[in-house]
Amino acid sequence: MRFITLTPILLFMTLLVATDPAGALDPEEVAEMLDPSVVRIFAVGSNQMESGTGFVINREGYVATNFHVIQRHEESGWRLFIADGGLDPEHRRNATVVEMFRGEDLAILQVSGLNRPPVEFAEDADDQPAKGRSVFAIGFPGAGDRLGPVTEASFTPGTVSRLFPGSWFNEGPAIRIIQHTAPTNPGNSGGPLVNACGQVVGVNSQRETRTISGPGGIPLVTDPIQGVFFSSHFSVLLQKLRALDISFTGAKKPCRVVAPAASTNLYIFIATAFLAVASVIYSLVFRPRRVTQLVVHCGAVAGDCAKAVERAVRDLRAGKGGNLRLVHGDAQRVGVARPSVPIWVLSGFDSHGRPVRLELSEDELRHANGLVIGRKRSRSEIVLTDSSISRSHALIVTIDDGIGIIDLKSAGGTEVDGKRLDPHGKPARLRDGSRLKLGDVELNVSRS
């Protein structure tokens, strides 16, 4: 009877949590989330080479960039490829131009065999991102090669200065343009401009420079103008994608920046987390239904725990919920429902000798286009808090009649049956009896 009495309160608290908009992430989390989705593009001529940036639109290998990044390819026949996990020839993937838009300075490429997670676009609104909001530019500035080849994207913060209608050149089409202060340099072109939630709001295109005459009238580019950078508004790209019938991931929630809670709100966080967990467990126990798997990572800070639970409840209400798993050091399943068969079980021990057991269904993997294993909840569906696990460590996907795994450029590496995987390479098949090593976490693979 006590559960019945509390039901309206629990459901009310769940509703409040579930209707919250997407919350802003720490800059570190934004960088970690976007890094696997941003790629470096090369155009190679007989004796010259130019580079730019692009970002993955969907799981079919579509990549967005600037027209001027691929202009040499179109006009002079230069070879076009993506550096996927390294700059060596074996890591080069040929890129095909699907469509280009000279006036909007946009191009859509397709890269066969590119296994990268796609970006998420922001809420489609002409007045977003608002002036003064934080944004981040991500890309591969060519100047970074001076001290060694750049294989990891650079990340720079800034704010939105203004949104305005304009064109990239005289008589060019009028589009919405974002002026911002997140520094970009040659090589950043075509990379994403993202908001505080990690959602794409623009495509970096230009920066303000000034040219002066040097000795003998040679034009010299100087950089006296600081903090003036330009991106095309993401709605321009979305319009092209819709016209081409190319799929993309839109925002499930609008991005809203909320000031961090003061320490005096500690008990509110704890109470909210407790009520949310109680309501979810109540619904699972007394209203069992087939749901998919969900991971909730509760950190040591009450605010982190509350946010994790809030996200779990929102996903449950959105139809993406599942067996609630509270992960603290190791991975254990609680709840009542089991995934649909066939089930793959990954069991073993972490670096501290604590038991780890993960249960996955092929239906789940197909529905979600893969599940990310990592240490950070912002980019991982399966959270392992072992210190040897990277924030986004590996991606488990379906291949043929089984499953495979892709290393996501993890620091500790991924091994299958003693063979270390190349970052962002082809999926390595996991078989019944395979030995999987994620950092220092050793797991045995079995199929029931």
Q: Give the per-residue pLDDT at 217.
A: 59
Q: Give the per-residue pLDDT at 165.
A: 93
Q: What does the pLDDT average to over 374-388?
A: 83
More confident residue, 406 or 272: 406
Least confident of 246-255, 280-289, 354-363: 280-289
DSSP label at residue 164: E
More confident residue, 25 or 178: 178
- Does residue 155 register a pLDDT over 60? yes
Residues contacting 219, CB < 8 A, separation 6+: 211, 212, 213
Q: Give the per-residue pLDDT at 301.
A: 42
Tell me the pLDDT tens digit for each residue of 59-90: 999 999 999 999 999 888 899 999 887 777 88
Q: Give the per-residue pLDDT at 17.
A: 45
CA distance linking residue 431 with residue 107, whole number of Å: 40
Q: What share of the chain is helix, strand, coil (3-state, %, to 5)?
A: 25, 35, 40
- Does residue 31 register a pLDDT over 80? yes
Q: What does the pLDDT average to over 425-433?
A: 91
Which two three-digit tokens encode residue 152? 């990891």
Q: What does the pLDDT average to over 387-401?
A: 87
DSSP label at residue 328: B
Q: Give the per-residue pLDDT at 268.
A: 56
More confident residue, 92 or 258: 92
- Provide the mean pLDDT of the chain: 78
Confidence bin at 326 (pLDDT 50/70/90): very low
Least confident of 186-190, 205-209, 373-377: 205-209
Q: Give the per-residue pLDDT at 370.
A: 79
What is the residue type of 64? A
Most confident region among 61-75, 145-159, 249-263 by mean pLDDT: 61-75
Q: What does the pLDDT average to over 98-109?
A: 95
Are 322 and 286 within 8 A, CB to CB? no
| Phi, then psi, of 263 in degrees rounded to 5 | -65, -25
More confident residue, 197 or 286: 197
CB neighbour class for 448 (10 Å; exposed up to 12, middle 13-18, buried from 19) = exposed
Q: Give the per-residue pLDDT at 251.
A: 83
- Helix ranges, 117-263 (H): 234-243
Residue 309 DSSP SS3: helix
- Does residue 426 register a pLDDT over 70? yes
CA distance linking residue 432 with residue 250, whole number of Å: 37
CA distance linking residue 269 with residue 265, whole number of Å: 6
Are 178 and 160 within 8 A, CB to CB? yes
Are 208 and 228 within 8 A, CB to CB? yes
- Does residue 19 register a pLDDT over 60? no
CB neighbour class for 238 (10 Å; exposed up to 12, middle 13-18, buried from 19) = middle
Q: Give the per-residue pLDDT at 67.
A: 95
Are 441 and 349 within 8 A, CB to CB? yes
More confident residue, 338 or 114: 114
* pTM (whole model) above 0.75: no
- Does residue 163 register a pLDDT over 90? yes
Q: Give the per-residue pLDDT at 448.
A: 79
Q: What does the pLDDT average to over 352-363?
A: 83
Are 379 and 32 within 8 A, CB to CB? yes
| Start-to-end C-alpha separation, the chain | 39
